[in-house]
């Protein structure tokens, strides 16, 4: 009986299903959606007021970086919502894999650090947090959507050694 279980009669655990149903994914989802809301509130409120006080060159950088930030967050929110749909059984991971081709997780990388440091601190912090979130989502995406490697049948690694011993003693 024990050898039957050892032979692989048990069901395989699908890692991608476990990841989308995990508490870690739930926390990542909440963090992402909270960041989207916080950024929108900042850009519509305090950010708008701060932008008016900037000199012309920095104001252009502010506009560019706020657009990049918004684009990045919208792509991340799309990815998170897609995978929440998988978690809630509204679509399969295969369907999500097809749909995620429309989501660009490399979209809108920020400008150079020396340019960013001229921006208001809160915008800099939002950009940094969005980049951190993007990095974690990219890692999760590659884990979820990289096809499993073909399992090579290695058999018993001792067989070649045993065959050599057998051949040596048969002479």
pTM: 0.73
Mean pLDDT: which of 19-23, 129-133, 152-156 is highest?
129-133
Residues 114 and 57 sit within 8 Å (Cβ to Cβ):
no
pLDDT value at position 36?
A: 98
Query: Per residue in 151-164, pLDDT tens?
Result: 445 567 777 777 87
Alpha carbons 19 and 105: distance in angstroms, whole number: 18
Where do the domains of the chain lie, and which CATH numbers do they carry?
13-149 (1.10.8.930)
Do residues 83 and 25 lie in contact, with contact meaning Cβ atoms separated by under 8 Å? yes
């Amino acid at each position: 009986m024990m050898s039957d279980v050892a032979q692989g009669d048990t069901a395989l655990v699908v890692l991608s299903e476990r990841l989308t149903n995990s508490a870690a994914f739930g926390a990542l989802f909440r963090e992402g959606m909270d960041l989207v809301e916080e950024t929108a509130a900042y850009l519509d409120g305090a950010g708008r007021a701060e932008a008016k006080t900037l000199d012309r060159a920095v104001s252009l950088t502010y506009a560019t970086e706020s657009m990049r930030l918004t684009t990045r967050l919208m792509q991340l929110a799309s990815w998170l919502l897609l995978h929440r749909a998988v978690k809630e059984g509204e679509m399969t991971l295969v369907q999500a894999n097809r749909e995620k081709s429309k989501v660009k997780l490399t979209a809108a990388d920020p400008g150079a650090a020396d340019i960013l440091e001229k921006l208001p601190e809160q915008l800099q912090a939002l950009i940094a947090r969005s980049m951190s979130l993007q990095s974690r989502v990219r890692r999760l995406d590659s884990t979820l959507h990289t096809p499993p490697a073909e399992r090579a049948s290695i058999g018993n690694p001792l067989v070649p050694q045993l065959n050599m011993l057998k051949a040596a003693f048969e002479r």
